[in-house]
Structure 1
């Protein structure tokens, strides 16, 4: 990568963040982007806070080495378990002129605007649910909103094994939708708080009551990033704009390219990053 290139970095523990990158690129195609998937150490959802923090920081530092002035943690687990420490403890000494943002804050800033009943559901990995990050952040912006969480541990394996369109996936999708709605039948808005889950969105819509609003994060994060860049012109000016896309994985590039095409929606050719 050219020393003059200062792309926007997008990080995820695996493939899911590509659904976010896809929406960001659609909204802001002029910028350069470098995507890093830590596929060799995925999944993050079952790992401890400390492990996720150290893995995420290591990958953020690699993206800084690629010239990134701004990095998006397009991973709910990393956003929940690592973002705050990186922002508060590491950036001031490691790279005070650079920024790291997550996917939880943009979503929680707007989720209450979609609900008429004041009852919303959050579907996520066990790690994200356990962190209670969504409960804490939504409370800041919509203190009167009732939020119900449901962990869906089988959904990521279903997606990553190519079973997201299979009849077998119907059972697990309906099981968790039913469990969520059992907490409150008045839930009218459901947030997909994992970047893998948009690949299951058709089945989720079928399992949810008619009229339920299903929110995936990609478009919300893309809108938030556009707003952030507009509000920080000094940072925006440093981001290179050649429309270049670079993909990196810590695991097999052949495997990554095959799977990434499903998430990103078009062919991907990646390079290997050894940690």
Structure 2
């Protein structure tokens, strides 16, 4: 990618591809590099320091590939690593580079989806324990009550291609029941993990018809459009040949490619990235 400056998209595994798909559909002209840290997924149960370390290592790899702008298409990384990266790490490496997350753009609009002012948030243990959605949604929609539920087994099911098997139904229903027990007024459920859209059909099948399920892909994509409009100095740097490249930290790229292709709507051929 000599002389190219693509947009970098990072996730702990394959989940960020749900966001990447929406971004590429809305902004097809740009070059992209996707990096999934599949070798160390899932992130949800790891410590703050470990998540920050892993995320920052991968962000720097994307910088080395020429990306001036990186989107953390991972809620856990956005919750536990983004602030430190933005406020401390970038200053020591290159203050002209930018790293964006998925939590704030989602919090800015999610309150518009609810009529009852009660929202359910499904996320990893790390995202839920961080309290990031409670804080961010309260900033934009102080009259909305947020009910959270961690779903620690969903990401492993998805990363191991078991999400569409009958065995996953038990765990889908289990966490949904635990969320809905918190309030009968929930009318909107946010999938606060970019892996979870792969389970969306099953999730909706276990919910009352009046509850709306919201995925983040289109929200984050529109937020990126708005960001580039507000920051022409960044937009002008980005190369525009429509190229997409995929990398995974797993040395078995075949599993990544097969699973990624199944829902990215176009063939995915990845390369192994060995983290130093």
Task: Answer yes or no: same fold by TM over 0.5.
Answer: yes
Task: Tell which deviates more after alignment, 156-165 or 15-24.
Answer: 156-165
Q: For residue 258 of structure 1, what is the aligned residue in structure 2? A: 258
1:264 shift after superposition: 1.8
Q: Distance in 2 between matches of 1:92 and 1:157?
A: 34
Task: Tell which deviates more after alignment, 14-23 or 156-165.
Answer: 156-165
Question: Secondary structure at 1:109's aligned position in 2?
Answer: helix
Q: TM-score, normalised by structure 1?
A: 0.97
Question: Secondary structure at 1:183's aligned position in 2?
Answer: coil
Q: Distance in 2 between matches of 1:81 and 1:270?
A: 27
Alignment coverage as a number of residue pairs: 274
Question: Secondary structure at 1:208's aligned position in 2?
Answer: coil
1:249 shift after superposition: 1.0
Ranges in structure 2 where 5+ consecutive residues have no aligned partner: none
1:133 maps onto 2:132 in alignment: yes
Q: For residue 272 of structure 1, what is the aligned residue in structure 2? A: 272
Which deviations, in whole Å up to 9, do the C-alpha atoms of 1:136-195 show, x marking residues without a partner?
111111111100000111211222222222222222111111111110010000000011
1:21 maps onto 2:20 in alignment: yes
Within 5 A, what are the aligned runs for 1:114-125? 114-125=113-124
Over the residues paired in the alignment, what is the CA RMSD in angstroms?
Answer: 1.0
Compared with structure 1, are the counterparts of its residues 263 and 95 closer, same or farther at alpha carbon in structure 2 (3 Å cutoff)? Answer: farther
Q: Distance in 2 between matches of 1:18 and 1:97?
A: 26
Is the 1:6–1:67 Cα contact (8 Å) retained in structure 2? yes
Within 5 A, what are the aligned runs for 1:138-153? 138-153=137-152
1:242 shift after superposition: 0.2
1:94 shift after superposition: 1.2
Question: Secondary structure at 1:71's aligned position in 2?
Answer: strand
Is the 2:118–2:186 Cα contact (8 Å) retained in structure 1? yes
Question: Secondary structure at 2:66's aligned position in 1?
Answer: coil
Task: Tell which deviates more after alignment, 246-255 or 60-69.
Answer: 246-255
Q: For residue 228 of structure 1, what is the aligned residue in structure 2? A: 227
Q: Distance in 1 between matches of 2:124 and 2:266?
A: 26
Is the 2:105–2:220 Cα contact (8 Å) retained in structure 1? yes
1:269 shift after superposition: 0.7
Q: Distance in 1 between matches of 2:159 and 2:176?
A: 20
Ranges in structure 1 where 5+ consecutive residues have no aligned partner: none
Within 5 A, what are the aligned runs for 1:157-176? 157-176=156-175
